Amino acid sequence: MNNIRNIFISLLLATILFVLINPSITISQEKFILIEEDMPGYELIRQSEWYWLGSQGKSYDTIKQRWRPNGTDDRQDIYIEYCEFESEAEAISVTSYHSGSFASPYYWGAFNGSIVGDHSWVGGESAMIFVRGNVGIQLCKPILPTAEDLTTLTIIADKILDKIETNLSAEILSLEETVRQKQIPVNDYQKITNDVVNSELMNDFSAFTTWDSKWMIDTTTFTMGIRAEWKNENGILVGIDICKFDTAEQAKNAANIQNEQTYSPIFNMDSLSSLETIIDNWVNKRKYGLESNYFSAITTKSNLAVHIYQFDSTKINTDFTYSIIELLVEQIDFF
């Protein structure tokens, strides 16, 4: 009997040692993790366990990968972190908190301005964090990033998104479909935005993306809005996200949460001088060399909350930004 037990213990220890040496064995079943066949031309240098911290000090297990293009050195390495949560609400809350835990600031957006997944933030020269469903992702190339690297990171993000989308659980899909029933009708969204996007201000813009946006109502509940983006040939992107709530109070509460999670200031739609102040503050910060390619702001009107954002690969034109928002506010007043 002792011999059998000793053999069993030996086999168990050998298995644990093998797993520690080959971490991909334990986590290869994670449905959204990239594997080498997803990354032609890259070698998986390392895959290990890591963690993110939430606002209450709770840690969340993550998987961290380090990829290297074939024939290059470690200066070309790309890092990816994956974190799966119990719910979509938890994923949004913890991932947004994680995006604010770095010394360098993150901004609402992505490398080309277009929001990735449900929420996304961009930071530094080549780092991005996004969340889709109940999965949070961070990816970056920390050394010597180039414009081509940003394109590569965007392609990798799309691959991860495809994996997440394909493997969302039935429970998540069912919840999203239920929440979608209370979404602002497309016709109402278009009544507000059509005169803006068809105006002379945006006559060289074309429709780019449309998505079901998510707004947190409280720490455990979200509702859906409609987020659409338009882009021109110069790479300037304008995004308008509108969400309808049951009450004006709920809209304001959601706007406050969105403000905290996306680092987007709130202005008073009935007094555009508050928007002017936000723009002035934005301009002053950029004088000190902070990011000048991203701008976003939030406002509410009755039971509607609106999140407007802009990306310009050169530099935000604040006159254009103000004019777009001013026109949008007029349409909401007429709605």
Confidence of residue 312 (pLDDT cuts 50, 70, 90): very high
- pLDDT above 80: residue 148: yes
Q: Which whole-number Å values give the CA distances from 285 to 23, 175, 290, 314, in the listed order? A: 44, 40, 6, 16
Tell me which of 286 and 158 has the higher pLDDT.
158
Residue 215, in any domain of the structure: yes
Residue 10, in any domain of the structure: no
Tokens 């974190």 sit on residue: 83
pLDDT of the residue at 160:
97
Q: What is the number of domains present in the chain?
A: 2
Confidence of residue 285 (pLDDT cuts 50, 70, 90): confident
Residue 53, in any domain of the structure: yes
Confidence of residue 29 (pLDDT cuts 50, 70, 90): very low
Give dist(CA 34, CA 28) in Å, integer: 9
- Among residues 124, 142, 171, the one where a domain terminates is 171
Beta-strand pair 304-311/294-301? antiparallel
Judge if 301 and 165 occupy the same domain. Answer: no
Per cent of the chain over pLDDT 90 is 84
Judge if 154 and 193 occupy the same domain. Answer: no
Judge if 233 and 319 occupy the same domain. Answer: yes
Contact present, 230 and 210 (Cβ < 8 Å) = no
Judge if 167 and 284 occupy the same domain. Answer: no
Q: For 203-258, write each residue's pLDDT tens digit.
A: 999 999 999 999 999 999 999 999 999 999 999 999 999 999 999 999 999 999 99
- pLDDT above 80: residue 84: yes
Q: Is 84 helix (H, G, I), strand (E, B) or coil?
A: strand
Judge if 147 and 201 occupy the same domain. Answer: no
CATH code of the domain covering residue 317: 3.40.1000
* pTM over the 0.95 mark: no
- Among residues 147, 171, 195, the one where a domain terminates is 171
Give dist(CA 154, CA 101) in Å, integer: 22
- Among residues 116, 145, 171, the one where a domain terminates is 171
Mean pLDDT confidence for 13-31: 43
Enclosing domain of residue 279? 182-334
Contact present, 35 and 28 (Cβ < 8 Å) = yes
Give dist(CA 245, CA 231) in Å, integer: 28
Judge if 166 and 287 occupy the same domain. Answer: no
Mean pLDDT confidence for 313-326: 95
Judge if 97 and 209 occupy the same domain. Answer: no
Residue 237, in any domain of the structure: yes
